[in-house]
Amino acid sequence: MIVDAFYAAPALLILALGVYTTFVRDTFPATVGFLAYGLLLTVAWVQLHGVDVALTEAAIGGGLTGLLLVRASAKLRATEAGARAQRPSLALRLAAAVLCGCVTLALAITVLTLPDPAPSLAVEALAHIAPTGVGNPITAVLMAYRAMDTLLESIVLLLALVGVWSLAPDRAWGGRPGPRYNADPDGILAFIARVLPPIGIIVGVYIFWVGADAPGGKFQGATIVAAMWLLTLMAGLSDVPPISRRWMRVLLVAGPAVFIAVGIVGVITTGTFLAYPDGWAKPLILVIEFALMPSLALTLGLVLAGAPERPAP
Amino acid sequence: MIPDASTTPGGWLLPLAILMPFVGVLAGLALGGRHARSVAMLTIAAGLAAAIAIASAALRMGDSLVYVLGGWSPPLGIALRADGIAVAMIVAVAVVITGIGIYARTDFATPRGVGEARAPMLYWMLLLAVWGSLNLVFVSGDLFTLYVALELLTFAGVPLVCLDGKGETLRAALRYLVYALAGSVLYLLGVVLLYAQYGTLDIALLAPRVSPGAATWTAMAMMTAGLLAKTALFPLHLWLPPAHAGAPPAASAVLSALVVKGSFFIVIRLWLDVAPGLVGLPAAQLLAGLGAAAILFGSVIALRQARLKLLIAYSTLAQIGYLFIMFPLAFDGATGMFVHGDALNAGILQAISHATAKAAMFMAAGLVYKSCGHDRIADLAGIARASPLTVLTFVFGGVALMGVLPSGAYLAKKLLLAAADGSGQWWWESVLVTGGLLTTSYVVLVAAQMLRRPAADAPPRASVPRPQELAALALALCSLALGLTAVFGPVPSSFLGNPLAPKELGATLMTIAGGTVLALLFASPLPPLPAALSAVASRSRRVTLPLGAVLEGIDALLRRWAVAGVSLLLVALAFGLLMHGDV
């Protein structure tokens, strides 16, 4: 009974928050609802023993996306009244509600018909883990079995950044992203931004490092490091470099570039792209991850920093 | 059917074709500034060579090329597979990208005295990224890798829309982004449902395992609806007209000719390769029905546009509809399955034909703008004298789309007509013929305006760069000559005849005459006509013009956000119900 409640409570709350986030009219409360929703989803994943997913949800789904949405809603406040005036007609809203209900119902029925236990490749992923040299099967999936997907995802992130930059006005191209933040140098934000980053960076690097054998990994670690960087930015302690800086561009592409280079090493040594020679899997995976982590942290931080707004001098 | 999960000779070309453009993106981003264009040019040369190498390797093999990434065979690992249709698309995309690249060299040069400029830098990165993503779409043998490809394609395509940085194009880009992401989510949902049932995402392993059931149909319906939203099939097209008409010509060409073909190709993979025996004929009739509606709406509204780029964008809407007519014709009644065959070949041929012709037409529209300083269709008189090659390009592209011998569209139409006849689906024959007439109507309309003699006091037309004209013309000629592929392709060459034979010539003339009549009935405004003709036309137009206005009104309604959202759900539900009902 208590166990049931333990599982049911987050599930019900998630549903309630989902409904709240959908129905609330204002952007900011919806964002807050979404943040809470993300936190509860993290709890649910932990309950389902998906700690890797939980970490990702907390870092990226809740944290990073939440931060993006909070900043977007702050910018959108001025337009809110106008958006509300464009409310569609009652008939249209009813049609949308009925259709959403139908789709939800169809999905719910579908989920109930799925085979239980679900067929899974988990056993096979564990059975072949030895040659990869890593202990966490999820890392084996990401860095060995499906390394190509991970490589391409790191390029997706880079393209997302290019997309953010594309919103810049022509004259600001090459300049610094976002506004320059001026926080009170003796205020609480500046204080936190001085105290927290050393700890946060260690936590981020730790989560990155244990990813080889335990839940964690570069994406989650990079998000935490990026968050620390943003904290110092928003406290006015540092500024974003102009996007035309060569070192920054090189750092951005270094991760995917090293990934491809290691793939080519596979071609030279084993004849197959993205294959690791015997006994070299773990070190090569580490090389990729060490190259990817800073690239990812920088990319994520810059995505949040926004489009260039201030022309470089 | 046990899939071959070992690397074939020449298989190594597949990861090369995917990654080369992305390496170009990385190098361009790192080197920056003025180097981006040179990097793109080098990559285009290398990529074109890789595409040709893939084609020749595939011809030598006589079978699909396969590459097992990292030596991990599916289901644990990922295999890349290039079957006939994939190879055809890879080559076509390489040719179109090359043409567009040469054209864009002039438009996207970094100005003197500037280290790096926004639009050129972005353009070259995105052009290469679109290319790599499309190659991934064509050869990916895994449903999740296809999702990654869709994400790449979306993020590469969206910023192309807002390259000129104006407010309206930013709005168009965001519209595209949000709707395309909704489509991605639906696709991903389907992927999850399939994995939960069958424990694999490899297409070749999945095909023998899929079985009828609520979860499979739900997955297929969701994925199809999501992909249609990304392809902008009517009525899920709210983002297409502003995005394709607002982007710079070299970007519109990429978006209209290539990007929408990516999600279209994945629909083929799903329906013909993943679950050919489960989707059923009724769902295919709906799919082609939406295509028919797209042809009608797209063409008639194209005739009512004042600006050339919007006309071409609506023509894309119609031509996308044309691509989906092949689905019910690819259904084999005897086995109850969708099969690779003439209908599919026709669909791919149509896609390639549209890719080459539409790229050429957008490029020509860009040159028209350069020459006249505007693209108002009513004021194009005199352009034929100023830059005859541009007009020729537009007309050749249009003629290729109309389906006149020996264009690819002609061959595709012949194949589809034969398939429709063979399966007794006469209604698609009439759609195909009407579609050809409608295409002709807007081509004739624009051509007539372009060929008009300028008024005595007309402003002079500027001349346009010759390399750009030639690049556009080359692509138009590719489309026009595409039907000749029948000589060494899988298509029976008996479908090709002598274009000057009385029968063919008669058919061509009939098409042009029919198209002209449609243009007279629906075009708004109408070009100046001889008095007698204009009297006859105006009487009939009392009926047809309001009809066109009604279609335009429905289109405007469908392109409202709320309605488009409802349409997306409706399409997903309709496909789900039809797939269920078939068994």
Give the whole-angstrom CA distance, residue A51 versus residue A201. 21
Instruction: Report how far Cα A148 is from the mean position of its chain's Cα atoms.
Output: 19
Q: What does the pLDDT look like over A295-311, one tens digit per residue?
A: 999 999 999 888 998 88
Q: Could you tell me if B36 and B125 are in contact, meaning their C-beta atoms sit under 8 angstroms apart?
A: yes
Question: For position B422, what pLDDT does the model report?
Answer: 86
Q: Could you tell me if B428 and B416 are in contact, meaning their C-beta atoms sit under 8 angstroms apart?
A: yes
Q: Do B118 and A170 touch (CB under 8 A)?
A: yes
3-state SS class at B275: coil
Q: What does the pLDDT look like over B165-178, one tens digit per residue?
A: 888 999 999 999 99
Please report the residues numbered 184 through 203 in chain B whose beta carbons come closer than 8 angstroms to any beta carbon of chain A: 189, 193, 196-200
> In degrees rounded to 5, what are phi and psi of residue B269?
-55, -45
Q: What does the pLDDT look like over A47-59, one tens digit per residue?
A: 888 888 888 888 8
Residue whose entry in the numeric block shows the structure tokens 């797939």: B579
CB of B25 within 8 Å of a chain A CB? The answer is: yes
Question: For position B491, what pLDDT does the model report?
Answer: 58
Confidence of residue B2 (pLDDT cuts 50, 70, 90): very low
Question: For position B358, what pLDDT does the model report?
Answer: 94
Residue B23, domain member (yes or no): no
In sign, the C-alpha dihedral spanning B267, B272, B278, B284 is positive
Instruction: Using CB atoms, pick whichever of B27, B148, B572 lies closest to residue A152.
Output: B148
Contacts of B214 in chain A (CB under 8 A): 109-110, 113
Give the whole-angstrom CA distance, residue B512 versus residue B399. 10
Q: How many other CB atoms are there within 10 angstroms of residue B502's CB atom?
A: 8
* Pairing assessment for the beta strands B79-82 and B65-68 based on DSSP bridges: antiparallel
pLDDT > 60? residue B583: no
- SS3 letters for B47-86? HHHHHHHHHHHHHHHCCCEEEEHHHCCCCCCCEEEECHHH
Question: For position B524, what pLDDT does the model report?
Answer: 77
Rounded to a whole number, what is the distance in Å from the CA of A69 to chain B's nearest CA? Answer: 15
Give the whole-angstrom CA distance, residue B485 versus residue B512. 25
- Residue to mutate among A48, A273, A288, with most B CBs inside 10 A, is A273
Instruction: Report how far Cα B406 is from the mean position of its chain's Cα atoms.
Output: 20
Rounded to a whole number, what is the distance in Å from the CA of B25 to chain A's nearest CA? Answer: 9
Contacts of B29 in chain A (CB under 8 A): 158, 162, 249, 252-253
Residue B88, domain member (yes or no): no
Question: For position A58, what pLDDT does the model report?
Answer: 87
Q: What does the pLDDT look like over A35-81, one tens digit per residue?
A: 999 999 999 999 888 888 888 888 888 778 888 888 888 888 888 87
- SS3 letters for chain A? CHHHHHHHHHHHHHHHHHHHHHHCCCHHHHHHHHHHHHHHHHHHHHHCCCHHHHHHHHHHHHHHHHHHHHHHHHHHHHHHHHHHHCCCCHHHHHHHHHHHHHHHHHHHHHHHHCCCCCCCCHHHHHHCCHHHCCCCHHHHHHHHHCHHHHHHHHHHHHHHHHHHHCCCCHHHCCCEECCCCCCCCCCHHHHHHHHHHHHHHHHHHHHHHHCCCCCCCHHHHHHHHHHHHHHHHHCCCCCCCCCCCHHHHHHHHHHHHHHHHHHHHHHHHHCCCCCCCCCCHHHHHHHHHHHHHHHHHHHHHHHHHCCEEECCC
pLDDT > 80? residue B533: no
Instruction: Report how far Cα A66 is from the mean position of its chain's Cα atoms.
Output: 10
Residue B352: which domain range? 142-581
Q: Do B573 and A128 touch (CB under 8 A)?
A: no
Percent of chain A surpassing pLDDT 90? 30
Instruction: Using CB atoms, pick whichever of A149, A165, A253 lies closest to residue B144.
Output: A149
Residue of A80, A87, A51, A91 whose CA lies nearest to A220:
A51
A313: tokens are 């001098």
CB of B166 within 8 Å of a chain A CB? The answer is: no
Instruction: Using CB atoms, pick whichever of B70, B152, B565 lies closest to residue A275.
Output: B70
CB of B247 within 8 Å of a chain A CB? The answer is: no
Confidence of residue B487 (pLDDT cuts 50, 70, 90): low
Give the whole-angstrom CA distance, residue B565 versus residue B544. 30
Contacts of B224 in chain A (CB under 8 A): none
Question: For position B499, what pLDDT does the model report?
Answer: 64
CB of B574 within 8 Å of a chain A CB? The answer is: no
Confidence of residue B12 (pLDDT cuts 50, 70, 90): very high
Interface ipTM > 0.85: yes
User: Mean pLDDT in chain B?
Assistant: 89
Residue B118, domain member (yes or no): no
Residue whose entry in the numeric block shows the structure tokens 């590459």: B67
Instruction: Using CB atoms, pick whichever of A118, A155, A163 lies closest to residue B158.
Output: A163
Contacts of A262 in chain B (CB under 8 A): none
Give the whole-angstrom CA distance, residue A300 versus residue A306. 10
Q: What does the pLDDT look like over A113-154, one tens digit per residue?
A: 888 888 888 888 888 888 888 888 888 888 889 999 999 999
Q: What does the pLDDT look like over B318-360, one tens digit per residue?
A: 999 999 999 999 998 888 889 888 899 899 999 999 999 999 9
Residue of B148, B96, B104 whose CA lies nearest to B125:
B104
Residue B441, domain member (yes or no): yes
- DSSP codes of every residue in B88-114: HHHHHHHHHHHHHHHHHHHHTPPPTT-
Higher pLDDT, B300 or A214: B300
Residue of B437, B431, B442 whose CA lies nearest to B404:
B437
Question: For position A126, what pLDDT does the model report?
Answer: 86
* Pairing assessment for the beta strands B65-68 and A308-310 based on DSSP bridges: unpaired
Rounded to a whole number, what is the distance in Å from the CA of A133 to chain B's nearest CA? Answer: 15
Mean pLDDT, range B399-424, rounded to an integer: 86
Question: For position B490, what pLDDT does the model report?
Answer: 58
In sequence order, which residues have a C-beta less than 8 Å from that of residue B133 and are 6 or more positions away?
A: B149, B152, B153, B156, B262
By CB atoms closer than 10 A (0-12, 13-18, 19+), residue A179 is exposed
Find the DSSP H helices in B199-259: 203-209, 214-231, 240-246, 249-253
Instruction: Using CB atoms, pick whichever of A99, A119, A267 lies closest to residue B570.
Output: A99
Q: Could you tell me if B455 and B402 are in contact, meaning their C-beta atoms sit under 8 angstroms apart?
A: no
User: Mean pLDDT in chain A?
Assistant: 88
Residue B117, domain member (yes or no): no
Q: Could you tell me if A20 and A33 are in contact, meaning their C-beta atoms sit under 8 angstroms apart?
A: yes
Q: What does the pLDDT look like over A190-204, one tens digit per residue?
A: 888 888 999 999 998
Residue B400, domain member (yes or no): yes
pLDDT > 80? residue B455: no
Mean pLDDT, range B362-383, rounded to an integer: 88
CB of B253 within 8 Å of a chain A CB? The answer is: no
Paired with B331 in beta bridges are B338
Query: What is the number of structural domains in chain B?
Result: 1
Least confident of A122-136, B126-140, B177-191: A122-136
Q: Do A166 and B163 touch (CB under 8 A)?
A: yes
Rounded to a whole number, what is the distance in Å from the CA of B320 to chain A's nearest CA? Answer: 26
Please report the residues numbered 104 through 123 in chain B whose beta carbons come closer than 8 angstroms to any beta carbon of chain A: 115-119, 121-122
In sequence order, which residues have a C-beta less than 8 Å from that of residue B174 and are 6 or more positions away?
A: none
pLDDT > 70? residue B498: no
Residue of A36, A54, A58 whose CA lies nearest to A45:
A54
Instruction: Using CB atoms, pick whichever of B71, B193, B198 lies closest to residue A119.
Output: B198
Question: How far, in Å, are A171, B237, B298, B349, B436 from residue B316 at the CA level?
Answer: 33, 11, 8, 16, 14
Instruction: Report how far Cα B123 is from the mean position of its chain's Cα atoms.
Output: 20
Contacts of A122 in chain B (CB under 8 A): none
- Angle formed at CA B551 by CA B318 and CA B519, multiple of 5 degrees: 65
Mean pLDDT, range B229-257, rounded to an integer: 93
Contacts of B117 in chain A (CB under 8 A): 170, 173
Residue B12, domain member (yes or no): no
pLDDT > 50? residue A312: yes
Residue B49, domain member (yes or no): no
Q: How many other CB atoms are there within 10 angstroms of residue B137's CB atom?
A: 26
Residue whose entry in the numeric block shows the structure tokens 């639009």: B119
For residue B162, the 8-state DSSP code is: T
Q: Do A149 and B121 touch (CB under 8 A)?
A: no
Contacts of B189 in chain A (CB under 8 A): 107
Confidence of residue B495 (pLDDT cuts 50, 70, 90): low
Q: Chain A residue closest to B565 (CA)?
A: A96
Give the whole-angstrom CA distance, residue B291 versus residue A230. 48
Instruction: Using CB atoms, pick whichever of B72, B214, B570 lies closest to residue A110.
Output: B214
Q: Do A272 and B78 touch (CB under 8 A)?
A: no
Instruction: Using CB atoms, pick whichever of A118, A152, A167 lies closest to residue B196.
Output: A118
CB of B563 within 8 Å of a chain A CB? The answer is: yes
pLDDT > 50? residue B1: no
